[in-house]
Amino acid sequence: MQNVLLGRSRKPLTRKFFMRAAEIYAERFSDPDGRIRATFSFIWMSGWAAHESQQKPLKPGSAKASLADFLKEVETLEKK
């Protein structure tokens, strides 16, 4: 997939455009009493890909500090 916004027009839409869109929508989708009912669905997606310059995870067991020791220190400080 790619960004679909890359090929979009950079010109802002006019009030006339939105008024005409509203007219067409009302013609096609209004109830017999003239009311327009609408529902909206929003879809949001995000993507990520690794890059060669990104930091790599360390090998298991290569840590220089122990999480257990740190948590013991925190617990000791909280008791004081």
- Locate the domains of the chain by residue range: 12-39
Mean pLDDT of 26-33: 92
Tokens 């298991």 found at? 60
**pLDDT for res 14:** 95
pTM for the whole structure: 0.38
Question: What is the amino acid identity at position 47?
Answer: G
Exposed/middle/buried for residue 4 (C-beta within 10 Å: 0-12, 13-18, 19+): exposed
CA atoms of 1 and 31, how far apart (whole Å):
38
Per-residue pLDDT tens for 43-80?
A: 999 988 889 999 888 898 888 888 888 899 888 888 87
- pLDDT band of residue 37 (cuts 50, 70, 90) is confident
